[in-house]
Structure 1
């Protein structure tokens, strides 16, 4: 732009800021900020969201951020995300003959900044946000609307009180894994009258008293509540929610201390409830019957590990919740085909269904879904040993809009079922199959022939799938993601067909394929230049030569896993690291990394086992 800076001379700041706000990816925004100082300043003004991982001296770090990003309204602090200590010593410099006896003023300023910014870089406590940092957040971002504090152990009620008093526009609060007491939560209820969403997962310091005070204070705005693994939050809190929160739409509960009484109170008081997610072993059919009778607006229902309710609860949901479109049943041992039939007959709007480990649900129940739910777009069957081919044949015949199908450990589902899906569901986009040993070439060939929109295919540990299947996929589909882990009949011909037929391929997992050699990697280099993620662990025939061919053309590669590949040496690792400018992670055995490679790219190398 030097000499011909037409953009900065013509476009006003408001328009540039609006352009930056419309950029969806962070790399694009970062690239724009490097153009010039003006763009850097305006791009900072356009940012409304900050995500912060574990960092050294986080309290000081927060203060620095507040000076640079003035319009931020959403802040997410997640201390599960580790961060390495930045290099604080300046790089080696050329020796200057002039003024070599004393450092320049700029160097002294840089050293002072480092000393002030990282005063406790060597202490473990410096890696956790404290109440002082939370106060700095409140001072720096008083217009904050969304705050997530994930596993911040050094934050207490005192810090949350300070923040609540200053950030009265807060709409969403997530304090998952923080040991904050009732006083802090009560302060949020007193000052943050616009709060709409609250997540209290793994908050062991809270009791019913704090939750009730918040619920009463935010009764006119609260729409979403989540509670998990909090032993001192019981039915009393849910009764307060049912009595005061008439606008509640989303409820997430994972607790062995909640019983029918609490769920019934919410159902009776919160008639706008749309999303109910329960993992409560002490809730029975009685509660679900009330939900079915009173919550006619319910759209999403997820039930996990229910051991005290039966088809009776399912019939109540089917009879009353006509708007239900998303249902998850996980480890619900006493729900049978009759319960699923009741859902199918009553909930014609169903678009997503997941059945996981419900051993009494068999073929007849899913056949009813195929006959009665034509809008189904996603189906997940996990550990369903009693669901057979005719069930998926009914889905293929009646659910023409199906786009996503997941099958895991469904032992009696075979090629006939997949053929029916392929012929009936021509809009299929994602097909994930794992450990379904009766599915082979015939079914996958039908998918390649009929499902032209397929972009994701996963065939993990499907022993009967071979090269013929992948050749059909390569000829008929333009895949973006392929996973054929453990399909030992697949060889060079199958992967080469994918390379030639799927130019948009970005993710490929061919691990544990003993018949794959270097030739497919050369084909991938020619046919799949957009490849980003490659997993080829346990491929004994792949060597450094194959990697050399691959990296010549696949310059966008970001991750490469290649452990237990005896043909790959330290030279191959060095080739990947040096030839791929965007590489972010290389998983390899420690002894295959030379000292030079470690110095050059140690930050992107991960080891299978540090001690071997």
Structure 2
């Protein structure tokens, strides 16, 4: 019957809640449902499990309001780096009150950061270093304080995951409130918080279910706090991250090794950690799966122990190591048979022999990144190609000694390779790319930057053989031209393309992409001096799903080309067009008026008219801002 509310009459609360849970990935749909009626608004709030909050106003009032509206929240992310300026006097989102200094509310059901609407931001007045001027001319902090944490502990006693990112006004006092009332806490991220030992000790005593702890840049902590936590949470702690904590030394890690038998992940970045601390963890934590080290005072002795004791290790990352050699890596290859992911960055004393030990011993390897290890060359990578058939991702950055011949073995032996990243590898050219294209036909992502020996021949081979390729980036490879893009357009259905700085590419190559890649969503054609309006017109007609485009430094682009582009690309969200002399204020106005989903336009300030500022000031970003 027309006008009869069948849904609210027939469906119980439980079923409507279940429907809302299936909309977890679509915040706009959930928001639309909450506007249907008061019942749906109430039920939709009950289904929310995660809040993301930027710099807040009055912490006590703010948290109290949230706790009354969202009763089933289990995860809260505070990140005081999130702060925006909204010049529009009448924002389209719901505020907590009519006051101009009230924070704006954006809430996410899942833990992921969406695109433009899943955070709680401060009001426009808080953009200046977290301070806002009140009516009396004084400045009020918009940072989360201990009072806010106390209110959070009272309002969300069932909290399981809490992130406090760069909340500089939080201290041990607030953390003690959390510890005493949120005893179900499993995950705690204190990155950039100046909390002390008393607060961390309270967490150790009260939160007996804690599994994940991040202490990056917590400068106020010493060994005493972490030791207390290890005593209290030793049975449950699975993940620990420590970085730039000058007063945390080997003593803390020795306590972790003695009490945290379930530890699976350890991430350390410290100049004050030596062998004894990491050795204690390697010897005392048999379940260790992930080990990330940036500790300049750790030597081969530690890696040898890792190789002989950490048989469950799957992920090893070694950054800026200057005191260990192939001997340590050989021990890892001998003992860590389950290793799948290896990152070697700025490890100057490693050579081909160490990498060969990994290749022959760790045949389950799937991900390998070598960054700035100047003594690793062709022979080492050949060994990977011969012995690691499960490799799916390979990244080589600043590897000047690795040549084309190594890729013959990779092409022969690593048929499941899906992603290849090459940056500043001067000895790698078309022969290497051809070997990969012919042997690794499952390739989906190819990123090449400043590899000047790579040209049309290699990219044409990719277009002919890698039919599953969806992500191609060939930045500043100045030998790549139109013929390469024509082959890609014929053979691949790209979603992401970056050809920034490939100055031989003209309209002809980009037209081939427009006609052959209708699913393209992201495009960077910056610094292409020969690209003109004809290419933009073809892109508009052929790539209607385009969401991001970078046109900066394209001197032949004009307002005419932009108008053709946005006529069909109505899903466009981001457009960068600085240093485009043919683009005027009229072209900028055309972009913001024709694209209802636009969120960011980067352009010179003088090209934005007053009318455009009034209409879409919140999405305009300027290359230069007034000081």
Please report the TM-score for the alignment, with normalisation by the length of structure 2.
Answer: 0.92
* Distance verdict in 2 for CA 1:519–1:181, change over 3 Å: same
Matching residue of 1:9: 9
In structure 1, C-alpha distance between the alignment counterparts of 2:272 and 2:103, rounded to whole Å: 48
Matching residue of 1:409: 424
Matching residue of 2:117: none
- Post-superposition shift, 1:88? 7.2
In structure 2, C-alpha distance between the alignment counterparts of 1:579 and 1:275, rounded to whole Å: 48
- Post-superposition shift, 1:30? 2.4
Is structure 2 residue 434 aligned with structure 1 residue 419?
A: yes
Matching residue of 1:328: 343
Greater shift after overlay, 284-293 or 75-84? 75-84
* Distance verdict in 2 for CA 1:329–1:41, change over 3 Å: same
Is structure 2 residue 570 aligned with structure 1 residue 569?
A: no
Which of 168, 177, 195 aligns to 2:192? It is 177
In structure 2, C-alpha distance between the alignment counterparts of 1:520 and 1:307, rounded to whole Å: 50
In structure 2, C-alpha distance between the alignment counterparts of 1:80 and 1:292, rounded to whole Å: 39
- Post-superposition shift, 1:84? 2.9
- Post-superposition shift, 1:330? 0.2
Matching residue of 2:128: none
Count of residues paired in the alignment: 595
Matching residue of 1:429: 444
Matching residue of 1:122: 133
Matching residue of 1:96: none
Q: Secondary structure at the match of 2:586?
A: helix
Matching residue of 2:607: 592
Q: Secondary structure at the match of 1:248?
A: coil
The CA deviation string for residues 187-215 of structure 1, in whole angstroms up to 9 with x for no partner, is: 00111000000000000000000100011
- Post-superposition shift, 1:143? 0.3
In structure 1, C-alpha distance between the alignment counterparts of 2:296 and 2:602, rounded to whole Å: 41
Give the conservation status (yes or no) of the 8 Å contact 2:132–2:140: no
Q: Secondary structure at the match of 2:43?
A: helix
After the TM superposition, which residues 289-300 of structure 1 pair with which residues of structure 2 at under 5 Å, given as runs? 289-300=304-315
Is structure 2 residue 55 aligned with structure 1 residue 49?
A: no
Matching residue of 2:33: 32
Matching residue of 1:148: 163
Is structure 2 residue 248 aligned with structure 1 residue 244?
A: no
Matching residue of 1:551: 566
Matching residue of 2:119: none
In structure 2, C-alpha distance between the alignment counterparts of 1:86 and 1:562, rounded to whole Å: 22
In structure 2, C-alpha distance between the alignment counterparts of 1:125 and 1:391, rounded to whole Å: 61
- Post-superposition shift, 1:40? 2.2
The CA deviation string for residues 361-413 of structure 1, in whole angstroms up to 9 with x for no partner, is: 00000000000000000000000000000111111110000000000001010
In structure 1, C-alpha distance between the alignment counterparts of 2:177 and 2:166, rounded to whole Å: 19
In structure 1, C-alpha distance between the alignment counterparts of 2:32 and 2:365, rounded to whole Å: 43
Give the conservation status (yes or no) of the 8 Å contact 1:279–1:303: yes
Greater shift after overlay, 27-36 or 308-317? 27-36
* Distance verdict in 2 for CA 1:148–1:524, change over 3 Å: same
Matching residue of 2:85: 84
* Distance verdict in 2 for CA 1:585–1:357, change over 3 Å: same
In structure 1, C-alpha distance between the alignment counterparts of 2:292 and 2:365, rounded to whole Å: 17
Root-mean-square deviation (CA), in Å? 2.0
Give the conservation status (yes or no) of the 8 Å contact 1:57–1:121: no
- Post-superposition shift, 1:31? 3.1
Matching residue of 2:388: 373
In structure 2, C-alpha distance between the alignment counterparts of 1:247 and 1:471, rounded to whole Å: 54
Q: Secondary structure at the match of 2:394?
A: strand
Give the conservation status (yes or no) of the 8 Å contact 1:58–1:126: no
Matching residue of 1:102: none
| Structure 1: stretches of 5+ with no match in the other structure | 92-108
- Post-superposition shift, 1:41? 1.9
- Post-superposition shift, 1:320? 0.4
Give the conservation status (yes or no) of the 8 Å contact 1:351–1:376: yes
* Distance verdict in 2 for CA 1:2–1:113, change over 3 Å: farther
Give the conservation status (yes or no) of the 8 Å contact 2:164–2:189: yes
The CA deviation string for residues 204-262 of structure 1, in whole angstroms up to 9 with x for no partner, is: 00000010001100011101100000000000000000000000000000000000000
Give the conservation status (yes or no) of the 8 Å contact 1:422–1:446: yes
Q: Secondary structure at the match of 2:33?
A: helix
* Distance verdict in 2 for CA 1:90–1:246, change over 3 Å: closer
Give the conservation status (yes or no) of the 8 Å contact 1:344–1:372: yes
In structure 1, C-alpha distance between the alignment counterparts of 2:574 and 2:482, rounded to whole Å: 26
- Post-superposition shift, 1:53? 1.2
Matching residue of 1:355: 370
In structure 1, C-alpha distance between the alignment counterparts of 2:170 and 2:578, rounded to whole Å: 40
After the TM superposition, which residues 183-582 of structure 1 pair with which residues of structure 2 at under 5 Å, given as runs? 183-582=198-597
Give the conservation status (yes or no) of the 8 Å contact 1:381–1:408: yes
The CA deviation string for residues 500-543 of structure 1, in whole angstroms up to 9 with x for no partner, is: 11111100000000000001111111111110001000000000
Give the conservation status (yes or no) of the 8 Å contact 2:88–2:618: no
Is structure 2 residue 31 aligned with structure 1 residue 20?
A: no
Matching residue of 1:73: 74
Q: Secondary structure at the match of 1:210?
A: helix
Greater shift after overlay, 42-51 or 357-366? 42-51
In structure 1, C-alpha distance between the alignment counterparts of 2:90 and 2:493, rounded to whole Å: 49
Q: Secondary structure at the match of 1:329?
A: strand
* Distance verdict in 2 for CA 1:438–1:2, change over 3 Å: farther
In structure 2, C-alpha distance between the alignment counterparts of 1:176 and 1:567, rounded to whole Å: 45
In structure 1, C-alpha distance between the alignment counterparts of 2:2 and 2:606, rounded to whole Å: 48
Give the conservation status (yes or no) of the 8 Å contact 1:297–1:321: yes
| Structure 2: stretches of 5+ with no match in the other structure | 105-122, 126-130
Matching residue of 2:109: none
In structure 2, C-alpha distance between the alignment counterparts of 1:298 and 1:48, rounded to whole Å: 33
In structure 2, C-alpha distance between the alignment counterparts of 1:429 and 1:243, rounded to whole Å: 44
* Distance verdict in 2 for CA 1:381–1:85, change over 3 Å: same
In structure 2, C-alpha distance between the alignment counterparts of 1:473 and 1:85, rounded to whole Å: 42
Is structure 2 residue 135 aligned with structure 1 residue 134?
A: no
Give the conservation status (yes or no) of the 8 Å contact 1:55–1:83: no
In structure 1, C-alpha distance between the alignment counterparts of 2:99 and 2:302, rounded to whole Å: 63
